[in-house]
């Protein structure tokens, strides 16, 4: 059974840092693109970052570039999001998700974790 | 950035009736369009990818259509468990993806 379990959320002051983790199981982690998607309270979904299977390519939404870093450890089946210089507008539930992306066809975000809440407030 | 616009924002439908949700892209996304369902307090669930392919385990009452800039999600006979928020997403520009703002499907 595919499982994605996020952790590391919590309350942090503006300007602070937080590191989110996503533990994967039930599939070959190193074969999939992995992503972070967030959802502010009462709002819609916003893609945050993607990382390629081997970690060689990373992409971010403009609003987090230079502040957030996505990474992965395939030996530990884990995905991470290092969040620095946090702002109130980063308050959201953060989900990790996996995707199968190939030139002949893709299946985006087919499995999601349950999410972890990040609250940025003084 | 490709902007995804969903309509209507809220759709009120009676159980057993058909629901039709729309999604428009600001430029062509070919068939690289997915639909997700999200219930309160839960993570989103992939329903449709490739504009019309049902994801694993998704009932046949869910169907997707369209290509280019206009897409539709149809639920043929609404069940009580189908009342939720639905999001479309383009992934034509992978690894940059964008979601629509969502359509809330509520019981009439």
pLDDT tens for each residue of A93-118: 999 999 999 888 899 999 999 999 99
Whole-Å CA distances, A29 to A4, A108, A113? 10, 15, 14
Please check whether residue B51 is in contact with residue B66, taking contact to mean a CB–CB distance below 8 angstroms: yes
Task: Count CB-CB contacts under 10 A for residue A37.
Answer: 27
The nearest alpha carbon in chain B to A98 belongs to B46
pLDDT in tens, B43-61: 999 999 999 999 999 999 9
Contact between chains at A109 and B34 (C-beta distance less than 8 A): yes
Nearest to B90 by CA among B60, B70, B62: B70
Predicted local distance difference test score (pLDDT) of residue A102: 85
Instruction: Note the pLDDT tens digit of each residue in A17-76.
Output: 999 999 999 999 999 999 999 999 999 999 999 999 999 999 999 999 999 999 999 999
Query: Is A57 in the B-facing interface, judged by CB distances under 8 Å?
Result: yes
Residue A52: its chain B contacts at CB < 8 A?
Answer: 95
Looking at the complex, does the CB of residue B104 fall below 8 Å from at least one CB of chain A? no
Interface check for A100 against chain B (CB to CB < 8 A): the answer is no
DSSP string covering B62-100, please? EEEEEETTEEEEEESS--GGG-SEEEEEE-TTTTS-EE-
């Amino acid at each position: 059974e595919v499982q994605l379990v996020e952790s590391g959320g919590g309350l942090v002051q503006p300007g602070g840092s937080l590191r989110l983790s996503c533990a994967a199981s039930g599939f070959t982690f190193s074969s999939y693109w992995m992503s972070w998607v967030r959802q502010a309270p009462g709002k819609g979904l916003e893609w945050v970052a993607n990382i390629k299977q081997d970690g060689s390519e990373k992409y971010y939404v403009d609003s987090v570039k230079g502040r957030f870093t996505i990474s992965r450890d395939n030996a530990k089946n884990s995905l991470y999001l290092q969040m620095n210089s946090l702002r109130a507008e980063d308050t959201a539930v953060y989900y990790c998700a996996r995707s199968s992306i190939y030139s002949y066809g893709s299946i985006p975000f087919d499995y999601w974790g349950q999410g972890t809440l990040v609250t940025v407030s003084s | 950035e490709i902007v995804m616009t969903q309509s209507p924002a809220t759709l009120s439908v009676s159980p057993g009736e058909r629901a039709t949700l729309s999604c428009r892209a600001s430029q062509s996304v070919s068939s690289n369009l997915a639909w997700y369902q999200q219930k309160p307090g839960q993570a989103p669930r992939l329903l449709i990818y490739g504009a019309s392919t049902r994801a694993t385990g998704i009932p046949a009452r869910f169907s997707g259509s369209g290509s280019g800039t206009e897409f539709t999600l149809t639920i043929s006979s609404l069940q009580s468990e189908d009342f939720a928020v639905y999001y479309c997403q383009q992934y034509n520009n992978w690894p940059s993806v964008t979601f629509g703002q969502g359509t809330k499907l509520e019981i009439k």
